[in-house]
Amino acid sequence: MIKNVIAKNGKFLVGTNENYGDTVEIKSACLKNVKKICSAFDANDNGAEPTEISTGPDPAVCQYDPSVITSNC
C-alpha cells in the first residue's frame, strides 16, 4: 500500500509485475513531474527489462481512484 507519499521527477510512481501476481493499492500521493502513476509489467526471469502491458487504475493490479492523486505538494 502506498499512502502519504510525495514523489518528484520520475518515470512512474509504482510498477507491478502482473504475471507474478503483484498488486498495489494507492491511498494518497502527491506527484510532481511524474509521468505515470501505476504501470503493470510482464516480468521475466532472464534479467531483461520487463514489457509494460498497461498503465493507470486497474482493479486487478493498480488499485486507486485518481482523486487520491494530487500535485499540490
Q: What is the pLDDT of residue 15?
A: 95
Domain annotation covers residue 34: yes
Asked if the structure places residue 42 within a domain, the reply is yes
Q: What is the rounded average pLDDT of the residues 10-22?
A: 95
Domain residues for 45? 5-61
Does residue 17 fall inside a structural domain?
yes
DSSP string of 2-61, one letter each residue: B-SEEEEEEEEEEEEEGGGT--EEB--EEEEEEEEEEEEEE--SSSSPPEEEEES-BTTT
**Structural domain count of the chain:** 1
Does 37 map to a domain? yes
In a domain, 71, yes or no: no
Does residue 32 belong to any structural domain of this protein? yes
Residue 69 lies inside a defined structural domain of this protein: no
- What is the per-residue pLDDT across 34-66, written as a single tens digit (0 to 9) for each? 999 999 999 999 999 999 999 999 999 999 999
Mean pLDDT of the chain: 95
Q: Would residue 49 count as lying in a domain?
A: yes
